[in-house]
Amino acid sequence: MDIPKYNGNIHPDEWINDIQKFRYIWKLDYKEFLKIAISLVDPTIKLPAEISNIEELRNALKDNISFAVFKNTNKRKLQLLKYIPESRGGDTSKFISNFLKLCYNAEINDIEEQKNYLCKSLPMNEYFSNEFYTKMKNVNSLNELIKKFEDIAVEESNLIKNYSIVALKHVTTGKYLSSAENFNYTTGSCTQLVFAGSPVPDSNSLWKIKFVKCNNTYNFRYQQYWNENWKFNDSKLENRQGYLKSNDIINLSIKKSYDDNKVEFLRSHDIQFTIGNDTFQEVVCHNERLGGNDEWCIELIKQNVWTIDTLHD
């Protein structure tokens, strides 16, 4: 096992901690250990002629211009550090490890300065900006800072984003909103059938969300079934901040442009109907008073995977 040399590309504290392990392994006396430690310093780093202990060596290394360059280099790396969520190919654990290491190397110990660097690393979107400001304003320690950041990362991973694939479970009956190609109503509109189907998500109960602007309106797509006028009722959201998250309980409404823009809500119940030999649980739209049969739990199946070029979206 080779003893690591010091060339100015490691923090002096870390390097001294590393080489002290060898003293205990090899059972060196203090003077011999100090002599070896001094010999391991790169000759381009000039040291005082007389160094009598490890603390003097530590201070000499920190007084050398190489340490100032090392700290400033790590500060610049902090300025360039960018957080990428797992949904976009990132790794939160590696990011936090890198952030902490850079703060250590740059000797950034002030919590407000650490917050500032962490904030600048975030993707440029409303969610991260709002959540970071809300959660971090009363943070007073590095451990708490990282804990709050992890909370934000976990919540972000559960957001229903543009083009997310979701399933919608009817809260009362536990069945999922479904539709299937080649199954049409036999009377009335004769359009593609919509029903509450399996008690577990399947290929017939997957829906793609497409938000329209920022007003909680989304297109509702399933293969050939499509309508652009569906909305969720944000008064049912637990976080009350306009962010739709997996497992939120919502109402779904539709504005019928062909019927004087009448707004109706999506409901299911235990009433069943048959088409041929198949039985389905009914799903209807209504404009009556809302109740438990109008509640749906939206479950995230898959977030849309973005490229690094669209991190600002």
Q: Is the pLDDT of residue 312 over 50?
A: no
Judging by beta carbons within 10 Å of its beta carbon (0-12, 13-18, 19+), is residue 189 exposed, middle or buried? exposed
pLDDT at 236: 52
Q: Is the pLDDT of residue 305 over 80?
A: no
Q: Is the pLDDT of residue 284 over 60?
A: yes
CB 290 within 8 A of CB 63: no
Smallest Cα–Cα separation from 9: which of 56, 81, 67? 67
Tokens 């536990």 map to which residue? 174
CB 248 within 8 A of CB 236: yes
Judging by beta carbons within 10 Å of its beta carbon (0-12, 13-18, 19+), is residue 309 exposed, middle or buried? exposed
Q: Is the pLDDT of residue 219 over 90?
A: no
Helices 92-106 and 65-80, axial angle in degrees (round to 10): 150
Domains of the chain: 12-63 (no CATH), 67-157 (no CATH), 165-305 (2.80.10.50)
- What is the pTM (predicted TM-score) of this model? 0.77
The DSSP secondary-structure symbol of 216 reads T
Of residues 226 and 99, more confidence is placed in 99
Six token digits for residue 297: 């739990």
Q: Is the pLDDT of residue 311 over 70?
A: no
Q: State the CB neighbour count (10 A cutoff) for residue 224.
A: 11
Smallest Cα–Cα separation from 121: which of 108, 13, 70? 108
| Phi, psi (degrees; rounded to nearest 5) at 82 | -130, 130
Distance from C-alpha of 150 to C-alpha of 135, rounded to nearest angstrom: 11
Q: Which amino acid is at 23?
A: R
Q: Is the pLDDT of residue 152 over 80?
A: yes
pLDDT at 308: 42
Strand ranges, E, within the chain: 165-170, 177-184, 192-196, 207-212, 217-222, 225-232, 248-250, 252-256, 262-275, 278-286, 296-302
Of the candidate ranges 126-140, 197-211, 255-269, the one whose mean pLDDT is the lowest: 255-269
Q: 75: pLDDT confidence band, cut at 50, 70 and 90?
A: very high
Q: State the CB neighbour count (10 A cutoff) for residue 162.
A: 15
Q: 306: pLDDT confidence band, cut at 50, 70 and 90?
A: low
pLDDT at 210: 81
Smallest Cα–Cα separation from 133: which of 146, 144, 147, 149? 149
Distance from C-alpha of 176 to C-alpha of 195, rounded to nearest angstrom: 8
Helices 54-63 and 12-26, axial angle in degrees (round to 10): 150
Q: Which of 126-135, 223-232, 298-307 has the highest mean pLDDT?
A: 126-135
